[in-house]
Structure 1
Amino acid sequence: MLTRRHVLASALAAPAVLRMGTGTAHAATTLKISHQFPGGSIDKGDFRDRLCRMFAAEIAKRSGGELAAEVYPNSSLIKTNAQFSAMRKGALDLSLYPMPYAGGELPETNIGLMPGLVTTYDQGMRWKKEPVGKALSDFLADKGILLISWVWQAGGVASRSRAIVAPEDAKGMKVRGGSREMDMVLQTAGAAVLSVPSNELYAAMQTGACDAGITSSTSLISFRLEEIAKSLTSGAGASYWFMLEPLMMSKAIFDKLPKNQQDVILAVGGELEAFGRKGAQDDDAEVAKIYEKAGAKVAALDGAVVAKWRDIARDTAWKDYGAKTATAANLLKLASDVTA
């Protein structure tokens, strides 16, 4: 298994390894990894960026320099919403990508943010080895996408005004939910909805176009929403909002690689899932401290409140999603079988 010391050692070795492609018998295959989140280093910053950098360093080390990878944060290589389609076409190698952002292209991917369907990390992480994980992986592979690292993140709400804890609190507010299904739940609760990627949430809240945003704890931190928020609802103890945000790879690119390199990618991806979970849970705890320090009032969710949101979701979003396609109906059934 990967340890932090192991990965840091790999990172230190990586610059020398990455140069092996110039003037040696074989050139390295350099993979491009794009994501929308702030860039940092392998040791500091948004854990999603760090995961990508750890992945790059480790595949370079384990492949003996046959593989290399470059990380492009802040959607600097490809715009946020275009990354999924680019991977499907083989125009982008990898992305750490919020799965429901692909919902406009493949509505089935909205299973990755179905309100109230996943309420704990244990439940979400079990998907990978349960029938729902195989069904989702098979569906995506058929559409040209491979799941390399399964990453789940709990979410909370940052608000410019009053806190949104229970569904009735959302009435009359303009809220960013993060998926079509979350938007349906918010609208049923009486809110107006806004559809923007999380990296555009700061500007939307700053201008007043959006009153509140629901997003992962990590994004609540990385996009500095505490600077404009007066209230935070934390999802650290319980949440109706869990986002599947995996490291994905273009199947067309993966299939062109020799088996030994494919094996390295899959092994490293699987091992980094523990780091992803710890990063998400650490940020669930950290976000409340950051917002309190900035002067925001912090509220928490509990099981009873989560159940209220889930009840609305089951009658609206779940029904709507399940009626989309036979695949969606099957995914919803299989996911419902994985209990909290």
Structure 2
Amino acid sequence: MLKTTSIAAAAAVATAMSFGAVQAAELKLSHQWSTSDVRHKVAEIVASEVAAANVDLEIKIYPSKSLFKPREQYNPLTRGRLDMVVLPLSYAGGQQPAYNLTLMPGLVKNHDHWSRLVESPFMDKLEEIMAGDDVMVLVHGYLAGGFGGKDRCITGPDDVKGLQTRAAGKAFEQMLAAAGASITSMPSSEIYSAMQTGVLQAANTSSSSFVSYRLYEQLKCYTPAGDVALWFMYQPLLMNKTTFDNLSAEQQAALKAGAAKAQAYYLDEAKKADAASVEAFKKAGVEIASMSNDDFTAWREIAKTSSYKAFVEQTPGGQELLDLALSVE
């Protein structure tokens, strides 16, 4: 009897120690951006809300690719070596081809549209794929982008014919090439010098990159994300699912509450970034153009026979996933 009691007591102590280890946890969160970037602020909101909840959980943020290189963050997340990450999901398209749909021209029309998209069966299906990698979404977020022309405005497909153009992502390169543009691939950080030296005549990138790289000094015309836009990139805050499941109910609740606050902030700030880019270009005397619904439809028709076609051919279950995304109005 004494032996049985001792074994039971030892088991109870071991359980308590294990429980205590889970309760007092520190989570590592990685991302590639500076501490002034909106994506860092999203991470900070979650971390500060969790800290304020007083649930014995700390989130330590590693910004500016200080923990992992940008495109090398997904695998550590799937293996539990990294707990959380803010990541353009298309970076992991090599591991999961379905993720390439999250940087696809014409899939998202505007910010309000993406807020509906992330609540749709399309996102449910993507999250099923993530779950297979032991990954879950805490905060949804899309950032928008536009077009810039060195010599003329770019709104519809005819405007890029014959132009040497830089596109943000392979799918955009495929669509622009199908529209008659010549493609020059380069990081967004090289657009300015390429335009300055005449290598580039047009570019497609994010609203924030247009401003941070001072492209208003090189462009004659800027077509920002407005009521409709072609370029949206899904950049969520992800978490290792097993890590989340092993937290207490109180810790999970604190994370979800912080995530809800961060997602509302993300949407608001994404809209502000587009507006701020317009003001920066206006101030510099750059002409501002607008993409119409007809322009958007024309681009999407070209994407259907280029980017969308390639995605479906290269992705198991790609047609179903594409159809789910396109069904969201």
**TM-score, L = length of structure 1:** 0.81
How far is the alpha carbon of 1:218 from its aligned partner? 3.0
User: Partners of 2:300 and 2:58 in 1: how far apart?
Assistant: 43
1:329–1:181 CA distance, 2 compared to 1 (3 A): same
Corresponding residue of 2:25 = 29
Aligned 8 A contact 1:177 1:183 in 2: yes
Does residue 244 of structure 2 align to residue 254 of structure 1? yes
User: What is the CA distance between 1:159 and its match in structure 2?
Assistant: 4.3
Q: Which residue of 1 aligns with 2:283?
A: 293
**In structure 1, distance between residues paired with 2:314 and 2:244:** 30
* 1:132 and 2:122 are equivalent in the alignment: yes
- The one of 176, 188, 208 aligned to 1:201: 188
1:324 maps to amino acid: Q
Distance 1:77 1:222 in 2: 24
Structure 1 Cα separation of the partners of residues 212 and 56 of structure 2 = 33
Contact 2:22/2:246 (8 A) holds in 1: no
The alpha-carbon deviation at position 117 of structure 1 amounts to 1.9
Select the residue among 1, 19, 38 that pairs with 2:34. 38
Give the counterpart letter for 2:29 in structure 1: I
> Which runs of no fewer than 5 residues in structure 2 stay unpaired?
1-19
Q: Hey, what's the Cα distance between the residues in 1 that align with 2:200 and 2:97?
A: 25
Higher deviation after alignment, 206-215 or 48-57: 206-215
- 1:228 CA drift (Å): 4.4
2:6 corresponds to: none
Residue-pair matches, total: 307
Identify unmatched segments of 5+ residues in structure 1: 1-23, 41-45
SS of the residue aligned with 1:104?
coil
Distance change (3 Å), C-alpha of 1:224 and 1:98: farther
The aligned runs of 1:86-235 (5 Å cut-off) are 86-195=76-185, 200-207=187-194, 211-235=201-225
Letter in 2 for 1:125: S
Corresponding residue SS for 2:233? strand
Per-residue CA deviations over 1:75-98 (Å, capped at 9, x if unaligned) read 233222222233223232222222
CA pair 206-74 structure 1, distance change in 2 beyond 3 A: farther
Q: Deviation of residue 311 (structure 1)?
A: 0.8
Q: What's the secondary structure of 1:30's corresponding residue? A: strand
| Structure 1 counterpart of 2:44, one-letter code | R
Q: State how far apart, in whole Å, the 2-side matches of 1:259 and 1:26 are.
A: 11
Residues in 2 aligned to 1:165 and 1:145: alpha-carbon distance in whole angstroms: 38
Secondary structure of the 2:280 match is: helix
Residue 49 (structure 1) aligned with residue 36 (structure 2): no
Residue of structure 2 in register with 1:313 after alignment? 303
Once residues 28 and 151 of structure 2 are traced to their aligned partners in structure 1, the CA distance between those partners, rounded to angstroms, is 40
Q: What is the CA distance between 1:151 and its match in structure 2?
A: 0.8
Q: Deviations over 1:15-63 (max 9, x none)?
A: xxxxxxxxx99984222322233322xxxxx32221111111111112x
Tell me if 1:270 matches 2:253: no
Task: Tell me how far apart the structure 2 counterparts of residues 300 and 161 of structure 1 sit (CA, whole Å).
Answer: 16
Structure of larger gyration radius: 2
**Change in 2 beyond 3 A, CA 1:77/1:329:** same
Paired residues of 1:154 and 1:242 also in contact (CA < 8 A): yes
SS at match of 1:69: strand
* Pair 1:80 & 2:52 matched: no
Which whole-Å deviations, capped at 9, do the CAs of 1:239-295 have from their partners, x for residues lacking one?
A: 122222211122343344334322322332133222111111111211111112233
SS at match of 1:116: coil
Instruction: Judge conservation of contact 2:223–2:288 (CA < 8 Å) in 1.
Output: yes
Shift of 1:189: 1.5
Tell me how far 1:160 sits from its aligned partner.
4.5
SS at match of 1:248: strand
Which has the larger displacement, 215-224 or 264-273? 215-224
1 CA distance for matches of 2:34 and 2:203? 18
